Amino acid sequence: MSNPLTSPLPLESRLVERVWGGTRLISAGGDTSKKIGEAWVIGEDNHVSGGPHAGQTLAELTKQFPAELLGTRASGTRFPLLIKLLDCADWLSVQVHPDDAQAHALEGEGHLGKTEAWQVLDADAGAQIIAGIQEGTSQDTLNTAILAGKVMDHVAYAPVQAGDTFMIHAGTVHALGPGVFLYEVQQTSDLTYRIYDWDRPAAAGRTLHLEKSAEVSRPWPAPAPPLSPTGDAVQELTRCNYFVLERLNSKGGTLESDTAGQTFHVLTVTVGEAQVEAGGETWRLGQFESLLLPAAVGAYQLSGDFEMLRSSLPD
């Protein structure tokens, strides 16, 4: 196949039921009896929904066109990020993710760790998360508490509101609370170790992983307070070795940007509607819709009255 991926790629979202899920991700007229916790919007298992590559998965395209899709900042032939929308009507399990070396050691070759970032899109009054461990807690104390089922004596709670950004490095004990709706960008991994699950029955496929959790958890304090919006057209929210997350906004004007062959750009509208002109094509994105721009797309233009999030690879 010779198509060099110079046009945007629309992908089909995957809705995932979770015991803690809500109804915000269910489209109008949908079955509201289901608890939809996650929409996997960009990831290697998502299928292209239109154009010359319709029906192919992002994993297949990445193997066929690694340079054109991923860009010069990437290594390997796997799509390196997974992007989700999460709707939390109840507490998620208190959990932790390994880093790359730990994932390989504990789960075997081919497994990746999981560092992630959260951008809060909406939150009920009084909504909270768990992120990190109370300051002064030693590694030995944390390990003992995890193995004894007493980690809740040491976790750090944080209030959340729309616009907050949290970086959750591998090793951070964390959980999302009720009333939180957010965007999550993470490494391509679904490797999660549960520490505490609010006394839900383990027989429902929600086993705890106490020994592995103790091995990978670190007594890190809560992440730094979220940045305040600057009002700039492009504001970097957070970055790490795996991704950069930015907030873009336009009040009816036009933003010019360029993948420059260096990295793909994932665009997700969070407020309003945006028009994307790229690769000789024009796309309209409504609220919570996403579009993947391969690295080979090059220069592109955004217009409209919108706020959006953009994820890409760091330089």
Q: Where are the beta strands (DSSP E) in the chain?
A: 14-22, 36-42, 81-88, 94-96, 116-123, 128-133, 155-159, 165-168, 174-176, 180-187, 193-196, 234-239, 244-258, 265-278, 281-285, 290-293, 299-312
Cα distance between residue 148 and residue 151, in whole Å = 8
Close Cβ partners of 73 (under 8 Å, ≥ 6 residues apart)? 262, 263, 313, 314, 315
Q: Are 43 and 188 in contact (CB under 8 A)?
A: yes
194 is catalytic: yes
CA angle, 66 then 280 then 286, to 5°: 85
Q: Are 58 and 266 in contact (CB under 8 A)?
A: no
Contacts of 19-27 with CB under 8 Å at 24 or more apart are 19/90, 19/200, 19/204, 19/206, 20/88, 20/89, 20/90, 20/91, 20/92, 21/87, 21/88, 21/89, 22/87, 22/88, 22/89, 22/181, 23/87, 23/89, 24/87, 24/122, 24/181, 25/85, 25/87
Cα distance between residue 134 and residue 153, in whole Å = 9
**How do 244-258 and 299-312 pair as beta strands?**
antiparallel
18, 73, 194, 200: which one is catalytic? 194
CA quadruple 215, 216, 221, 222: dihedral, nearest 10:
-140
Q: Which residues are catalytic?
A: 194
